């Protein structure tokens, strides 16, 4: 609770410090310096590393639209895993809810692990529930229309199987350190599980490739972009000059460091409090907008369903709606990316399948619930359909304008939600990046502290600098993680199918019993 109070105090100090700094009229020279550095860094990434983003996000024409192959890679894998594991996300949803509520947790057990099932779930959710649910859905709706929502939901439901698979593997092949801390995730199961099946060489290559991409992704999309958008929302909601991002960055970096210095237990203790509150705030605002516009709910759902199969009035027609829905779902819930398996590996359990069943709830909460709420608010407002007074809005601006059209002062609450989303995403991705870092450079306080300090420096950089190519590169690194991860998953499907069958049989026989 003390950490959460420091966080809330930090949000207040961020705003008041920036306001005071702005009122002094200072910073013009600094602003010019920052802009110069920003352009130089962005030019470097564009000129020398732009090819990497272009490669990862290679698209092919489908009708009048462009389809990113990486989206197909994730979607096809999710569909295959859904079929292979017998629609586990639907058949075992009741068991999943029982596990996360603690009904199968032995209060007297001394199992390996650092966090509870609920804490692991909220930590992983804090890494996925974020700006993508606000800005990303706005982009999808602006381009693909209401119909994109339908395909977003379908992709989210299938992605639940991917989360189940990779998070079960994460626990099964995790490493328990002498201190009792846990290291796990795709790096470990790609190396160790692949070796068990006779593909040790390939497994090592996949593990190292994944770890490198995870580190790069943690610095960019999991860090700099979040800090950048948090400051952008302060500018949008409170009129704070954009050039004063350094203050936002310093305060956020101090808050992030105060949490991550304590490791996974500290991160989990914050996320288990912040995530439910931030989700409740955002979903609560969405429900109010929907209730205020109760008479339009039927029309909104009709537009979503019809748009999914007609795509009328949107870019690329039905194909455009399909592509935008799939893109938003895969980009938002990260199913198949492998990141969540790192957080879930730290759970207290001796049954790997229990955490896989808990993890499958993530895409449902992230995509089916929260992204759909955003889509309904935008559809009810109608600002994504031309002609309208705000034509040309997209991303977070479209989402914010849609909330404001129903309840004007909601823009302030939306700004608070965005800052909470950004902060929680940063602390989760710091853990992902840290575990990838120690996998490559060794465990110990020294390597860990080096990474944490570098990560916090990038928080300040992210809030200060405006860039495009840097974020494109980082996003590409995050989705490159899925290439290494899913190749390994295809090899390891039989391992978890056997694990799941054994677990379900023992639950039915009563060998694994409930404690509540």
Averaging pLDDT over each range in 90-94, 420-424, 486-490, which range is the top one?
486-490
**pLDDT tops 50 at residue 387:** no
**What b/e sequence results for 29-47 when a residue is b if at least 16 CB atoms lie within 10 Å of its CB, and e otherwise?**
eebeebeeebeebbeebbe
Strand partners, 60: 67
Chain mean pLDDT for the chain: 81
Residue whose structure tokens are 């207290």: 348
pLDDT of residue 23: 45
Do 429 and 217 form a contact (C-beta atoms < 8 A)? yes
Alpha carbons within 13 angstroms on the beta-carbon side of residue 189 total 31
Name the token pair of 281. 């705030």
Better-predicted residue by pLDDT, 114 or 2: 114
Average pLDDT over residues 200-211: 96
pLDDT of 450 over the 60 cut = yes
Q: Kindly list the structural domains of the chain, giving each domain's residue range(s) and its CATH number in brackets, ordered by start.
A: 52-509 (1.20.1740.10)
Q: What is the pLDDT of residue 30?
A: 57
Q: Average the pLDDT over 488-506 and give the result.
A: 94
Query: pLDDT at residue 27 above 60?
Result: no
What is the pLDDT averaged over residues 107-120? 75
Confidence of residue 7 (pLDDT cuts 50, 70, 90): very low
Could you tell me which residues come within 8 angstroms of residue 75 by beta carbon, excluding any fewer than 6 positions away?
Answer: 155, 158, 326, 330
What's the token pair of residue 141? Answer: 């709706």
Q: Kindly state the percentage of the chain with pLDDT values over 90.
A: 24
Among 19-28, 116-125, 486-495, the range of highest mean pLDDT: 486-495
Highest mean pLDDT (candidates 176-190, 346-360, 482-496): 482-496
From 5-14, 96-105, 187-196, 250-259, the region with the lowest mean pLDDT: 5-14
pLDDT of residue 88: 94
Does residue 22 register a pLDDT over 70?
Answer: no
Q: What share of the chain is helix, strand, coil (3-state, %, to 5)?
A: 80, 5, 20
User: 3-state secondary structure string, 177-204?
Assistant: CCCCCEECCHHHHHHHHHHHCCCHHHHH
Tell me what percent of the residues of the chain surpass a pLDDT of 70.
Answer: 82
Mean pLDDT of 493-500: 94
* pTM for the structure as a whole: 0.86
Is 50 exceeded by the pLDDT of residue 452?
yes
Q: Is the pLDDT of residue 184 over 60?
A: yes
223 burial via Cβ count (<10 Å: 0-12, 13-18, 19+) = buried
pLDDT tens by residue, 226-278: 888 788 778 877 777 777 778 888 888 888 888 888 877 787 788 778 778 88
The confidence score (pLDDT) of residue 394 equals: 54
Q: What is the mean pLDDT of residues 153-181?
A: 90
Token output for 181: 């801390």
């Amino acid at each position: 609770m003390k950490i959460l109070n420091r966080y809330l105090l930090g949000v207040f100090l961020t705003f008041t410090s920036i306001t005071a700094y702005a009122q002094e009229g200072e910073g013009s020279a600094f602003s010019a310096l920052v802009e110069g550095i920003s352009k130089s860094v962005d030019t470097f990434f564009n000129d020398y590393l732009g090819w990497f983003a272009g490669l990862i996000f290679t698209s092919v024409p489908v009708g009048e639209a462009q389809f990113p192959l990486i989206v197909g890679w994730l979607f096809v894998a999710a569909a295959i895993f859904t079929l292979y594991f017998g629609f586990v996300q639907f058949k075992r949803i009741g068991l999943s809810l029982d596990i996360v509520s603690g009904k199968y947790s032995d209060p007297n057990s001394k199992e390996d692990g650092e966090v509870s099932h609920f804490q692991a779930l909220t930590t992983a959710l804090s890494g996925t529930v974020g700006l993508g649910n606000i800005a990303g859905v706005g982009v999808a709706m602006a381009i693909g229309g209401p119909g994109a929502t339908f395909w977003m939901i379908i992709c989210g439901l299938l992605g639940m199987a991917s989360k189940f698979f990779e998070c079960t593997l994460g626990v099964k092949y995790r490493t328990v350190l002498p201190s009792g801390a846990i290291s796990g995730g795709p790096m470990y199961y790609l190396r160790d599980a692949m070796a068990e099946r006779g593909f040790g060489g390939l497994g090592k290559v996949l593990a190292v490739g994944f770890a490198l991409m995870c580190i790069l992704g943690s610095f960019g999309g999991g860090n700099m972009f979040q800090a950048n958008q948090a400051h952008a929302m302060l500018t949008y909601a409170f009129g704070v000059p954009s050039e004063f991002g350094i203050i936002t960055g310093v305060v956020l970096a101090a808050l992030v460091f105060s949490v991550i210095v304590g490791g996974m237990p500290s991160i989990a203790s914050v996320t288990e409090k912040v995530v439910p509150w931030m989700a409740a705030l955002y979903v609560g605002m969405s429900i109010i907008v929907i209730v205020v516009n109760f008479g339009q709910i039927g029309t909104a759902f009709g537009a979503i369903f019809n748009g999914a199969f007609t795509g009328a009035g949107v870019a690329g027609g039905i194909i455009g709606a399909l592509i935008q829905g799939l893109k938003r779902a895969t980009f938002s819930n990260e199913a198949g990316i492998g990141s969540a398996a790192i957080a879930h590996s730290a759970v207290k359990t001796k049954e790997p399948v229990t955490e896989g069943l808990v993890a499958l709830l993530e895409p449902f909460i992230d995509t089916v619930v929260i992204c759909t709420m955003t889509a309904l608010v935008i559809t009810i407002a109608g600002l994504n359909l031309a002609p309208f007074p705000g034509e040309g809005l997209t991303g977070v601006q479209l989402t914010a304008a849609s909330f404001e059209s129903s309840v004007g002062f909601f823009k302030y609450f939306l700004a608070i939600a965005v800052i909470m989303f950004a902060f929680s995403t940063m602390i989760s991705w710091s853990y992902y990046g840290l575990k990838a870092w120690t996998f490559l450079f060794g465990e110990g306080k020294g390597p860990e502290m080096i990474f944490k300090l570098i990560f916090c420096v990038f928080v300040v950089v992210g809030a200060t600098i405006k860039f495009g190519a840097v974020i494109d590169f980082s996003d590409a690194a995050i989705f490159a993680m899925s290439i290494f991860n899913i190749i390994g998953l295809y090899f390891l499907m039989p391992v978890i199918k056997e694990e799941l069958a054994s677990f379900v049989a023992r639950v039915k026989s009563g060998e694994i019993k409930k404690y509540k």
